[in-house]
Amino acid sequence: MDLTLKVWRQKGPEAEGKMVSYDVKDISPDMSFLEMLDVLNEQLINNGDDPVAFDHDCREGICGSCSLYINGVPHGPKKQTTTCQLHMRSFKDGDTIYIEPWRAKAFPVIKDLVTDRSSFDRIMQSGGYVSVNTSGNTLDANAIPVPKENADMAFDSATCIGCGACVAACKNASAMLFASAKVSQLALLPQGEVEARERVQNMVAQMDKEGFGNCTVTGACEVECPKGISLENIARMNREYLKAALSPGK
């Protein structure tokens, strides 16, 4: 396929960015989207130009670092598919493809298509974990019974890869789907009960501190999530937050 790419180029966080047009030729339909960007960058390097900066790591739909707007849609046209797992057969010969970084105050652009998503890391650091006393003998995880329904829901929540598509899709740039998935993952398990009150309060407080917007339940986050994380997690986090607010402090 021969394609025209309209790529967002921005030299740094404070620089003014713009869309730049590039032509790529003989793109195989079996290439992934990132492999196509590799071809573009090889072309740019051979011409003595600066390659396009974009994030990638596992290229297996696991790490979440390949976050891009493709034709105005987070991760592109295929539902529940990450950018790295999107193949060029989803496009046609002669297509024009617009490629941009996430657009959110809490995700500032570092360069070109790379955004700083460390705000998600700080939300996790504020409470997205279980503290374990490692002195003495370690308790076997299987010794604590977990109802299958809860285990299944916790597993579904744990599939969140933290890519930020929910923030990019939301008109308010809300991180509620991400935060609620991480809260739900632990709130549904007995190991997470001890710190449940502090966890949800701290994670919501950090989310607000990072500058994410409020949730108005439009559902765009669930629709664009490459892992299909459910809005039910937001309802669960709201219940956990209310329960924590009404419970006596320690």
Rounded CA-CA distance 30/106 in Å is 35
Q: Which amino acid, residue 209?
A: K
φ, ψ of residue 215 to 5 degrees: the values are -85, 130
What does the domain layout of the chain look like in residue ranges? 3-111, 118-246
pLDDT tens profile 5-53: 999 999 999 999 999 999 999 999 999 999 999 999 999 999 999 999 9
pLDDT tens-digit map of 89-137: 999 999 999 999 999 999 999 999 999 999 999 999 999 998 876 666 6
pLDDT of residue 131: 82
Instruction: Classify 3-111 by CATH class.
Output: alpha beta
Q: Identify the pLDDT of residue 135.
A: 63
Beta strands at 96-100 and 3-9: parallel, antiparallel or unpaired: parallel
Write down the pLDDT at residue 67.
95
**pTM for this one?**
0.93
- Residue 250 pLDDT > 60: no
Percent of the chain clearing pLDDT 70 (strictly above):
96
The pair phi, psi for residue 6, each rounded to 5°, is: -105, 105
Q: Which CATH superfamily is domain 118-246 in?
A: Alpha-helical ferredoxin (1.10.1060.10)
Q: Check residue 191 and give its pLDDT.
A: 87
